[in-house]
Amino acid sequence: MPIVMVDPHQVHAPVAFVNQALLDLTGYSQEEVSGRNWHLLHMPGSGRDDLNAVDVALHAGEPFETEFLGRRKNGSAFRCSLALSPVHDEAGHLRWVALALTEIGPAHRSDREDTDQSRHLEEQVERRTRDLQAALDRKTSLLHEVEHRIKNTLQMTASLVLLKARRLRDPEARRVLQETAERVSALSAAHRLLSAAGDGGRFNLKEFTAELAGELVTTLPKGQVDLDLDIQPLGVPAPKATALALLMNELIGNAVKHAFPNGRRGRLTIEIGRTENGLKIAVADNGVGLDHAPPAEGSFGKTLITMLVQQLKGQLTWRDQKPGTRAEIVMPVDAQEMKFE
């Protein structure tokens, strides 16, 4: 084993003696190395940190192990491991430190080794990617399953309320229950869309609004109200889905229910789009206007709208368009959070 004996008591730890194996490895002669700093066996520019750590251990007379890039007399490099062993005299005082070098390979790997290595790494990356994709697929399908069950439960709740409504003779009580069933149905529809969403779990507000408005308008006689949709396709994060779904339900529901009494013809316009720092939703009709009739007793929709807008940290304005009503909501939206496709 190539060995260098150095004197730890001198600042530069000069070489005192090297064995034949070290001369064979490096191509030096005994005279060329004796008295010189052992650093001449280190390839310059290949990292000094280890060198410093070796020197610290060397002067302290402590054992130490590391790897470094060695340098032969002809300038060629070799990779080696280095082990430091302190040598003590009979009185137990540190006398020498032996540096044992073991060559562990050429400085550069062969192309073939490199190719093998990179193929191995590629395989590992592929395997990890497959595992991660499988985990993501499992998570996505679980989420879909959960949303699907929520949707079914809500749909069942709506059906139960409707069944009860049909058995009531009091028309007012029946109406109240029917409207409750409609609200629950709107939530169920939101969860149906979430259960079909991609792995981002985003709620497709355009699809939801188009579907809901279409359904609500069909409760009016055909041709009475034209529907005008101007909606940018966008996916909102699942946690906002239920609030937005209910909000759209109340706004569109009000226009359909109150703006066009007695067969009044008109137009319902829904706009959803991006503003400078968020999202803008407008539901406008050219109907009779908000103050046409006093609010029905126990009416709750507008309060619910206000609460939902607060929850979404937005701002709500009602405008009398003469004719008709326009409700406008602007809410701040993180561009990362809400994706406009």
Ligand X SMILES: Nc1ncnc2c1ncn2[C@@H]1O[C@H](COP(=O)(O)OP(=O)(O)OP(=O)(O)O)[C@@H](O)[C@H]1O
Tokens of 286: 């050219």
Report in angstroms how near the CB of residue 191 gets to ligand X at its nearest.
22
Dist. CA 311–CA 59, nearest whole Å = 68
Report in angstroms how near the CB of residue 130 gets to ligand X at its nearest.
51
Binding mask 228-257 for Mg ion (x = CB under 5 A): --------------------------x---
Is residue 225 within a helix (H) or strand (E), and if so which, with residue range? Answer: strand 225-231
Dist. CA 151–CA 310, nearest whole Å = 25
Report in angstroms how near the CB of residue 297 gets to Mg ion at its nearest.
13
Report in angstroms how near the CB of residue 175 gets to Mg ion at its nearest.
12
Q: How far, CA to CA in Å, does 332 sit from each of 104, 166, 278, 313?
A: 61, 42, 4, 7
- Which residue's CB is nearer to ligand X, number 103 or number 182? 182
Binding mask 218-257 for ligand X (x = CB under 6 A): ------------------------------------xx-x
Sign of the Cα torsion 12, 16, 22, 25 reads: positive
- Which residue's CB is nearer to Mg ion, number 22 or number 252? 252
> Which residue type is seen at 124?
Q
CB-CB contact of 329 with 309 (8 Å): yes
**DSSP tag of 221:** P
Residue with CB nearest ligand X? 301
Spell out the SS3 assignment of 18-78.
ECHHHHHHHCCCHHHHCCCEHHHHECCCCCCHHHHHHHHHHHHCCCEEEEEEEECCCCCEE
Interaction of residue 173 with ligand X, rule CB under 6 A: no
Rg (CA), the chain: 40
CB-CB contact of 109 with 117 (8 Å): yes
- The strand order across the sheet containing 225-231 reads 225-231, 266-275, 278-285, 325-332, 315-320
Query: Residue 71 binds which entry of ligand X, Mg ion, none, with Cβ cut-offs from 5 to 8 Å by kind?
Result: none
Binding mask 266-305 for ligand X (x = CB under 6 A): -------------------x-xxxx-xx-xx--xxxx---
- Which residue's CB is nearer to Mg ion, number 85 or number 178? 178
Binding mask 259-278 for Mg ion (x = CB under 5 A): --------------------
Query: Residue 285 binds which entry of ligand X, Mg ion, none, with Cβ cut-offs from 5 to 8 Å by kind?
Result: ligand X
Report in angstroms how near the CB of residue 242 gets to ligand X at its nearest.
17
Q: Looking only at residues 292 through 331 of this chain, which bind Mg ion when binding is defined by CB under 5 A? A: 301
Of residues 155, 320, 179, the one with CA closest to residue 250: 179
- Which residue's CB is nearer to Mg ion, number 61 or number 301? 301
For Mg ion, the binding residues (CB under 5 A) are 254, 301
**Which residues contact ligand X (rule: CB under 6 A)?**
179, 254-255, 257-259, 285, 287-290, 292-293, 295-296, 299-302, 325
